[in-house]
């Protein structure tokens, strides 16, 4: 992240000119309204995910409160740090679900499947949890590392902490000293998300029409998609780290269309790759900035939305693209900022209907309802 | 064991820098008489003060206290000291309180150096804006412990243990940042980065723990450069204009409102310091904005009318101050009376 942000700062002037000359001419602006006040979090924090169900109820997965370390028998355990909130269609808070659930640690995404089941993706526990429409537990994928590997302290100030290195090593280093530490390498099938070969900061989940489950895995070192049956049995995995077809550099989102095509937000390569349900590469979409949150709308004619989420150290970009499934850009809307109608690192888009969206913002600690206008 | 070692190192660092010591103006400055209402704030049963790191008032005289209790919490009291409400219960941006400020529209800004976040709340407690970002806890795991030291990242939109916030009349936002950086950051009123100035050191446009910040009605910026025992005055574009270095180590500074604003600064008794140094620190100075010292009051101590590591002051009314203390868990309301020159002239 440090290296990436450095690049962005250095190249920002050139990038801005480039974006202006390319973007302004070729991509039309979509008029829109946004309401940042429709829902109010019972406890403030970074909104990583937002999703609606078929009844218009709204679910939010937010990083709020604090992750807590518990000192144990020569090990340190951790829990907490995120919460799941449910609101009715008018935005009124209804209830919290998943209180105290083992996997709820560092919110990354929330999605509602066609049967209104609620799925959370947690990058701290490296788990995906399926709840029924009322919030009851149904299924878990992946295993949480049993404990965190806190390095012994030296008592000396750290020399400029390298956050990039930390990100790359945190997941594998955690979970030592216990059977089934999520990050450890073992004999299990790659990508199975179970004992011996866990997810590495998974970012998102989607389903095809048969109910097969596709996990975006993710922000960490794996750079792969893991496929499971609707019952949670591992089917296969595809992908590796790189820039070629079927390779990924930080997968931040995943979505599927009615035909069962799988769209993967390959953020580091600034593209969305499209696969069939067996992982065969079909095409890629490259003119939409850095995709972070992606969503395929409902309805007879489906559209793909993709957020060109702003780099952490700038308020450049931030626009959300509306794209035909074939890859042609219809238009875009919004920009990065901290005011109403602006976007602070969009990490989730819900697009159940084509022109009524919910967007979740990590930096602005809110979810906005966005209405696109003709 | 390791923790104790780090404390020793920290102690040596503090010892090396002029973080405490006798202020040059102390002996020649007239004494201002004052009274204190130490138990002014009435907490409901079951709520306790922790380290009093932040205090501020709004236009109605309500008092806001940002405290490191079991959890870091932000309380509001009315002008009589009666508890009103709590802000941001369970917020992701509360881990280690540092300062609270109230802007001209009575919005409440909470500066938290445990999460590197500044939250702007409306008067009724709704979150309006977030500056900075809490570091990804997963990334923290691999680098702990040892974080939180000066690293000079100087990034536009993330802080490193930032300490305070202030605004100019146009609503531009100024942040002193802080323990991990040594700079002042300017944002426009919409939270967009304008510029940053300052590195670690003791030269021009250098700071050693810029610990508090205030902006006057002309938009001049006053930085409490605690580790260098000086107040550095910057213009609105963050160019250095003046240095006031006769009033000890400024832990807390504030500028009063009204036609004739005054600058107050606290030469606070350092947290954890040996009490044999108490005689040399702890006093608060009243100054003109141009640096002229008008008077001083108080001394270090845990007792009534004494100051135990004053960490933040509110001086909306120049004769009625609120001071928050670290090593005595309280907020005192002070009423200043007209100054009298001490007979001894010391």
* Structure token pair of residue B335: 């009423």
Contacts of B147 in chain A (CB under 8 A): 158, 161
Q: Cα separation of A62 and A64, whole Å?
A: 6
Has residue B7 got a pLDDT over 50? no
Pairwise CB contact (< 8 Å): B92 & A63: yes
Q: Name the closest residue on chain B to residue A155, using Cα atoms.
A: B6
pLDDT at A114: 97
Cβ separation of A167 and B93 shorter than 8 Å?
Answer: no
For position B70, what pLDDT does the model report? 78
Show the tokens assigned to A60: 């939010």
What pLDDT shows up at residue B26? 86
| A46 interfacial to chain B (CB closer than 8 Å) | yes
Task: Specify whether the CB–CB gap between A7 and A337 falls below 8 A.
Answer: no
Size of interface A-B (CB pairs under 8 A): 133
Model pLDDT, residue A347:
98
| CA–CA min distance A150, chain B (Å) | 6
Dump strand ranges (E) for A23-92: 32-35, 45-52, 58-64, 68-71, 76-79, 82-87
A312 → chain B, closest CA residue: B157
Q: Give ipTM to 2 decimals.
A: 0.74
**Which has the higher per-residue pLDDT, A46 or B138?**
A46
If you measure CA to CA, which chain B residue comes closest to A67? B137
Report the residue from A41, A64, A155 with minimal CB separation from B9. Answer: A155
For residues B29-45, give the mean pLDDT: 90
Q: What is the average pLDDT value for chain B, to the nearest integer?
A: 88
The pLDDT, as a whole number, for residue B22 is 77
Q: Is the pLDDT of residue B263 over 80?
A: yes
Predicted pLDDT of residue B266: 97
- Over the stretch A236-256, which tens digit does the pLDDT of each residue have? 999 999 999 999 999 999 999
Residue of A nearest to B4 (CA): A155
pLDDT by residue (tens digit) across A184-196? 333 344 455 544 4
Residue among A295, A288, A169 nearest A221 (CA)? A169
pLDDT in tens, A273-285: 999 999 999 999 9
* β-sheet bridge partners, residue B102: B108
The answer to whether B264 and B321 are in contact (CB under 8 A) is yes
Q: Which pLDDT does position B253 carry in this prediction?
A: 98
Residue A15's pLDDT is 44
Option in B2, B92, B150 nearest A155 (CB): B2
Percent of chain B with pLDDT over 90: 71
Which among B133, B136, B147 has CB closest to A363? B133
Q: What average pLDDT does range B213-233 have in this prediction?
A: 97
Kindly indicate the confidence band of residue B329, based on its pLDDT and cuts at 50, 70 and 90: confident
Q: Distances in Å between the alpha carbon of A262 and those of A209, A272, A277?
A: 11, 10, 6
* B104 DSSP 8-state letter: T
Tens digit of each residue's pLDDT (9 = 90 or more) over B41-56? 998 888 888 889 999 9
What average pLDDT does this structure show over A131-147? 90
Of B337, B277, B272, which is closest to residue B305 (Cα–Cα)?
A: B337
Pairing of strands B320-325, B310-317: antiparallel
- Backbone φ, ψ for residue A128 (5° rounding): -120, 130
Higher-confidence residue: A9 or B131?
B131
- Which of residues B94 and A187 earns the better pLDDT score? B94
Does the pLDDT of residue B203 top 60, yes or no? Answer: yes
pLDDT band at residue B139, thresholds of 50, 70 and 90? confident
| Residue in B96, B109, B136 to test binding to A, most A beta-carbons within 10 Å | B136
Answer with the residue of higher pLDDT: A357 or B26. Answer: A357
| Cβ-defined contact of B130 to A167 (cutoff 8 Å) | no
CB A117 within 8 A of CB A134: no
Indicate the pLDDT class of residue A81, thresholds 50, 70 and 90: very high
A339/B190 touch (CB, cutoff 8 Å), yes or no: yes
Highest mean predicted confidence (pLDDT) among A4-13, B238-247, B272-281? B238-247
Question: Is A46 within 8 Å of B92 when comparing Cβ atoms?
Answer: yes
Query: In the structure, what pLDDT confidence band is assigned to residue B273 with cuts at 50, 70 and 90?
Result: low
Whole-structure pTM value: 0.80
């Amino acid at each position: 992240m440090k290296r990436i942000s450095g690049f962005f700062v250095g190249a920002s002037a050139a990038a801005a000119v480039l974006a202006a000359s390319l973007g302004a001419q070729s991509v039309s602006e979509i008029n829109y309204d946004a309401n940042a006040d429709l829902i109010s979090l019972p406890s403030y924090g970074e909104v990583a995910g937002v999703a609606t169900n078929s009844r218009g109820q709204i679910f939010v997965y937010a990083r709020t409160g604090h992750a807590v370390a518990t000192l144990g028998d020569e090990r340190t355990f951790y829990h907490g740090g995120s919460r799941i909130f449910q609101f009715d269609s008018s935005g009124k808070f209804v209830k919290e679900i998943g209180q105290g659930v083992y996997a709820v640690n560092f919110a990354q995404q929330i999605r509602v499947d066609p049967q209104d089941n609620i799925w959370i993706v947690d990058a701290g526990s490296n788990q995906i949890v399926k709840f029924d429409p009322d919030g009851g537990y149904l299924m878990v994928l992946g295993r949480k590392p049993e404990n965190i590997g806190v390095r012994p302290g030296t008592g000396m100030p750290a020399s400029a902490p390298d956050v990039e290195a930390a990100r790359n090593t945190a997941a594998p280093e955690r979970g030592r000293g216990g059977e089934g530490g999520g990050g450890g390498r073992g004999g299990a099938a790659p990508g199975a998300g179970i004992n011996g070969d866990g997810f590495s900061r998974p970012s998102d989940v989607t389903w095809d029409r048969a109910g097969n489950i596709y996990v975006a895995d993710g922000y960490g070192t794996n750079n792969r998609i893991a496929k499971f049956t609707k019952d949670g049995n591992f089917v296969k995995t595809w992908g590796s780290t790189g820039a070629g077809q079927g390779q990924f550099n930080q997968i931040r989102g995943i979505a599927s269309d009615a035909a069962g095509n799988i769209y993967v937000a390959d953020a580091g390569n600034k593209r969305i790759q499209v696969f069939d349900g067996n992982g065969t590469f079909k095409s890629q979409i490259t003119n939409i900035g850095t995709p972070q949150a992606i969503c395929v709308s409902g309805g007879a004619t489906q559209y793909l939305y993709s957020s060109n989420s702003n780099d952490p150290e700038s308020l450049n970009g931030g626009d959300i693209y509306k794209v035909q499934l074939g890859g042609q850009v219809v238009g875009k809307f919004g920009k990065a900022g901290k005011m109403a109608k602006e976007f602070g690192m969009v990490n989730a888009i819900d697009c159940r209907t084509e022109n009524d969206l919910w967007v979740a913002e990590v930096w602005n600690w809110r979810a906005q309802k966005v209405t696109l206008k003709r | 064991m390791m923790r104790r070692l780090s404390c020793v190192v920290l102690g040596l660092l503090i010892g090396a820098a002029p973080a405490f010591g006798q202020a040059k103006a102390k002996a020649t400055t007239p004494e201002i008489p004052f009274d204190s209402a130490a138990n002014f704030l009435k907490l409901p049963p079951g709520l306790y003060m922790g380290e009093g790191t932040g205090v501020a008032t709004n236009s109605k005289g309500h008092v806001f206290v940002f405290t490191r209790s079991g959890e870091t919490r932000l309380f509001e009291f009315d002008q009589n000291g009666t508890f009103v409400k709590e802000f941001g219960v369970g917020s992701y941006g509360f881990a280690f309180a540092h300062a609270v400020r109230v802007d001209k529209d009575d919005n409440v800004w909470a500066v938290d150096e445990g999460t590197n976040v500044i939250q702007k709340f409306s008067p009724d407690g709704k979150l309006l804006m977030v500056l900075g970002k809490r570091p990804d806890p997963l990334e923290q795991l691999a680098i702990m412990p040892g974080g939180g030291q000066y690293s000079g990242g100087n990034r536009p939109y993330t802080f490193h243990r930032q300490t305070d916030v202030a605004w100019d009349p146009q609503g531009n936002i100024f942040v002193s940042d802080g323990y991990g950086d040594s700079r002042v950051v300017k944002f426009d009123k919409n939270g967009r980065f304008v510029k940053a100035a300052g590195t670690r050191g003791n030269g021009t446009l250098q700071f050693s723990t810029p610990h508090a910040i205030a902006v006057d009605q002309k938009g001049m910026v006053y930085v409490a450069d605690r580790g260098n025992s000086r107040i550095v005055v910057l213009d609105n574009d963050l160019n250095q204009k003046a240095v006031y270095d006769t009033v000890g180590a400024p832990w807390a500074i504030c500028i009063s409102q009204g036609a004739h604003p005054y600058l107050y600064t606290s030469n606070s008794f350092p947290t954890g310091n040996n009490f044999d140094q108490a005689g040399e620190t702890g006093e608060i100075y009243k100054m003109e904005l141009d640096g002229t010292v008008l008077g001083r009051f108080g001394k270090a101590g845990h007792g009534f009318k004494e100051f135990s590591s004053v960490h933040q002051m509110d001086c909306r009314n120049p004769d009625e101050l609120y001071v928050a203390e670290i090593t005595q868990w309280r907020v005192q309301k002070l009423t200043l009376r007209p100054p009298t020159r001490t007979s001894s002239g010391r």
